[in-house]
Structure formats: structure tokens, C-alpha cells
Amino acid sequence: MSEQTPENTENLPSTGEPTPKAPVFEEKRGMWSRGSSDTSGYNLLDRELAMPGASQPPFGEPFDAIYNRALEVVPELRGALVLFDRGELTIYVPREHLLKTVAQFRDDAFLRFEVCMSVSGVHYPQERGAELHSVYHLMSFTHNRRVRLEVSCPEEDAHIPSVVGTYPMADWHERETWDMFGIIYDDHPALTRILMPDDWKGHPQRKDYPLGGVDVEYKGAKVPAPDNRRSYS
């Protein structure tokens, strides 16, 4: 295959490459959070951690059409961060506009994202004032396409509106995200633990959660808790 020349690159589809390059906020060795014993065997793995930068359109179809229509039906999204990476579009939504956004994404005839496939959480301790993120993976059966919405909130005010009124199947997903990350979904019908016992302290998938636990017995054998296992360093 011949090498691409500069003269014929302008018609290539946009890659949505983040610009400018996001600054590295931390360099880490190993797999786990700093301060925890790394029992993964990846102690010599060096990594640079960086938040993604903003992407600029065009992204290619159907993502340009989705994004442009989203701005038409939810003008509050203008100026919000957008990320296009690896063929996936993520729109960052201010939490005060989340309910309007998901309603329009479901009901608008052009968008028609009828299903929220999952709700997941992410903890970014280094992102001051927006440490907790709630991520919504929407699917359009009508148009056979996907989009991702992302909402952030601070640890000190970990409240995000529940989308169960728009997407009832998000019920258990929001409960799991509350259980693991501590995000409080306001107006959820029954925001209780779903994976951990009701009296469990803390939220195990936060980055600052201690890598400890309790020994587990299985068929007569005892599996030690992570902080009691041997080190691979």
C-alpha cells in the first residue's frame, strides 16, 4: 500500500484526536493505588496517567449528526466537554441538565436512544471538585447506534439525579454504582446496597479504598485477603 501523501489527507475522516494533549497528572509503578501492597505481579509496570483532552468535530457520521442534534434539543450542552476516541462519542453533561438530556435522547425522533444499557462509576481523586463520575451507555435500537453520557460530582456533594424515571432498567445499575462508589442518585426508588452487605463501611471501588478484606473459605481451603497475600516484588 502506498504511503498517504499530504495532498489527499484532507478528505480522510476525522479521528477525533484530543487537542491539546492532556497533561500527565501522575506517574505510577504497578497496578494498584499508591500506598497499597501490589499483589498483582505488575510491580515493574510504569504508567503515565492523564485525563483526556477535548475533541473537536468533525468526528464522522453518525457521530456529527448525533452531536449536532443533541445541541439543538439540549442547548445547555453547548460548551460542554466532548470526547471522541476509538470510534466512541462521549458527551459530558452538567448534572443539573442530566434529566432533560436523557429525556430528549430517549424521546427525540432523530436520537431515539431507547435503552440505557448500563450505568457505571469512576473515581478520579486528582480531579478536584469532580472526583466522582457517573457514566451512561445509551443504545438506539431504532438507528442501531450508541452514545455515552458522563456526569461528574464532587466527593463532598456526591449527588446526581436518578435516571430511573426515564430508564427504569437503570435501577440496579445505580444501586451498584452507589454501593461501589458512593454516588447518591437523588429520587432513586430504593438506593440500597446490592453487592456488599447492608452494614458494609465504605465503597470498595474508590481509589482510596484500602486494599484489605477478609479471608474467604471455599471447599475447605482458605483464600487470604489481598493485604495478607505474599508480595511479588
The pLDDT score that the predictor gives to residue 191 is 97
Domains: count for the chain: 1
The pLDDT score that the predictor gives to residue 4 is 36
- Is residue 219 domain-resident? no
pLDDT digit string (tens) for the chain, length 233 residues: 333 333 333 333 444 454 456 677 778 777 765 656 666 667 778 888 777 778 999 999 999 999 999 999 999 999 999 999 989 999 999 999 999 999 999 999 999 999 999 999 999 998 889 999 999 999 999 999 999 999 999 999 999 999 999 999 999 999 999 999 999 999 999 999 999 999 988 999 998 887 767 788 878 888 887 777 666 55
What is the C-alpha radius of gyration for the chain, rounded to an integer number of angstroms? 21
- Is residue 169 domain-resident? yes
CA dist 87 and 63 (Å) reads 9
Using the structure block, give the residue that is written with the C-alpha cell 456526591. 158
Q: Which of 166, 167, 168, 132 lies closest to 151, judged by CA?
A: 132
- Is residue 25 domain-resident? no
CA dist 52 and 195 (Å) reads 30
Domain range for 59 is 52-209
- Is residue 71 domain-resident? yes
- Is residue 15 domain-resident? no
Pairing of strands 159-161, 184-186: parallel
Which residues does 190 contact at the CB level (< 8 Å), separation at least 6? 171, 175
Does the pTM surpass 0.85? The reply is: no
The pLDDT score that the predictor gives to residue 34 is 61
- Is residue 230 domain-resident? no
- Is residue 38 domain-resident? no
The pLDDT score that the predictor gives to residue 39 is 65
Query: What is the torsion angle, in degrees rounded to the nearest 10, for the CA atoms of residue 160, residue 175, residue 147 and residue 102?
Result: -50
Which class for 51: exposed (0-12), middle (13-18), buried (19 or more C-beta within 10 A)? middle
CATH number at residue 78: 3.30.460.80
- Is residue 24 domain-resident? no
